[in-house]
Amino acid sequence: MKKKIAMLPGDGIGVEVAEAAAIVLKAIEQQFGHAFEMEIGLIGGSAIDDSGNPLPEETLKLCRESDAIFLGAVGGPKWDSNPVGLRPETGLLGLRKTLNLFANIRPVKTYSSLAACSPLKHEVLQNVDMVIVRELTGGLYFGKPSERGGRPGEEDVVDTLYYKRSDMQRLIKAAFDLASVRGGHVTSVDKANVLESSRMWREVAEETADIFKDIPLNHMLVDHAAMRIISSPSSFDVLVTENMFGDILSDEAAMVTGSLGMLPSASFSEQGLHMYEPVHGSAPDIAGENLANPIGAILSAAMMLRHSFSMEEEAAAIENAVEQVLKSGVRTRDLAGGGETYLTTSEMTKEIVNAL
Ligand code: NAI
Ligand code: MG
């Protein structure tokens, strides 16, 4: 099959892990006889340096002409003191908004060979296989007004949590769709004891459950969900929630596995142009040192093959290769638990390609 992929490496280790993902995609291309045309576009800090714009028009054009988008990560201290509007993150938020990438999908799976990397007890980690579905283009991060006001001596400030009912409907439906493919159940997370927006969220979840009669639904308050992710992560299957709750809970769930560097994600649009990226950021503390764990990026590429190209066999081949390499005991530094022996980004990538 012929597919065009927009590769947006971004900044810091984003560049290193995107390279790793591209190498694995090339191996898949050869092995399965596909043709992946990967074209690089600028986003974030590197785009600011190039043109003063964190999301150049050319990058948007490249994305729109592609079948799927791969993103490394954006950001770094170099750009932190930029005037408002010129932050690297603006590029990523703008891309999500422009392409209407409303559903962020984050699988959280534990590998028995990595149990020692997790801060949690071994028993708690058994059979953890959950997916967090987070709303990505609305809620508190986009609602207006979001501004300071008041008077001298008593400043005030407001942020707004705003959703249309249809925003909730499409997101919660995406969660139920996923649960039916997995043969699982849905936990809808909200703060319905306090927030009116959460009470509407609960209604929409109930209405959606009426359509998906075979998929059990339960509701959970966000504070309780935060506890359960630590105390019994295996009790979750698909967890669906609004933007800010999802931001926090997905990072919490990430730590269950032991390293942020392991986790992939997908962001779905209604139009079918989806984006794939590792969960981690640009990791300025290790950028440029060939120390990043490329697995989150490589598993994101696998998600791309599965969800955008319907290449289930190819996706599973990557996932199995990763599992096999971890079982063999090789580690990147983040997984080595302070040990002296670990592989570089490029060595780990090579191991995974060999296992393929
Ligand atoms: P981060 O995820 O970049 O790093 C957090 C910690 O995890 C660091 O110690 C880092 O070295 C480590 N780490 C992350 N990914 C790793 C990997 N693949 N292998 C080994 N270790 C890894 O988050 P942080 O430090 O909060 O943010 C750094 C920059 O990244 C900021 O500018 C932030 O805005 C940006 N960021 C961008 C995201 C994106 O592009 N989607 C997401 C999160 C943060
Ligand atoms: Mg976050």
What is the per-residue DSSP string for 290-341? T-S--HHHHHHHHHHHHHTT--HHHHHHHHHHHHHHHHTT--BGGGTTT-S-
| Ligand nearest to the backbone CA of 101 | 1
Share of the chain above pLDDT 70, in %: 99
d(CA 237, CA 179): 8
Residue 309 has pLDDT above 90, yes or no: yes
Residue 288 has pLDDT above 70, yes or no: yes
Question: 143, 162 in Cβ contact below 8 A?
Answer: yes
Directed axis angle between helix 312-327 and helix 345-355, to 10°? 120
Interval between CA 247 and ligand 2 midpoint (Å): 5
Average pLDDT, stretch 290-317?
A: 97
Furthest CA-CA distance within the chain? 68
Q: Which one, of 24, 48, 46, lies nearest residue 36 by Cα?
A: 24
Average model confidence (pLDDT) for the chain?
Answer: 95
Average pLDDT, stretch 336-350?
A: 91
DSSP 3-state of 255: helix
Active site residues: 141, 191, 223, 247, 251
Pocket of ligand 1 (CB under 6 A): 13, 17, 73-76, 89, 92, 260-261, 277, 280-286, 292-293, 296, 334
Residue 55 has pLDDT above 90, yes or no: yes
Residue 105 has pLDDT above 80, yes or no: yes
Residue 118 has pLDDT above 90, yes or no: no
- pLDDT for 85 equals 59
* Architecture of the structural domain at 1-106+263-356: 3-Layer(aba) Sandwich (3.40)
d(CA 130, CA 120): 16
DSSP 3-state of 152: coil
> CA–CA distance from 208 to each of 215, 321, 334 (Å)?
10, 37, 40
Quick check: bond before 145 cis, omega within 30?
Answer: yes
1-106+263-356 shares its CATH topology with 119-257: yes
- pLDDT for 83 equals 66
Interval between CA 13 and ligand 1 midpoint (Å): 8
Question: 222, 241 in Cβ contact below 8 A?
Answer: yes
Q: What is the CATH number of domain 119-257?
A: 3.40.718.10
Q: Which one, of 148, 43, 50, 147, lies nearest residue 98 by Cα?
A: 43
Tell me which residue has its CA closest to atom 42 in ligand 1. 281
DSSP 3-state of 287: coil
Token readout for 72 is: 């490394």
Interval between CA 282 and ligand 1 midpoint (Å): 5
Q: Where are the domains of the chain?
A: 1-106+263-356, 119-257
Would you say the ipTM is above 0.95? yes
| Ligand nearest to the backbone CA of 265 | 1
> Is pLDDT larger for residue 279 or for residue 80?
279
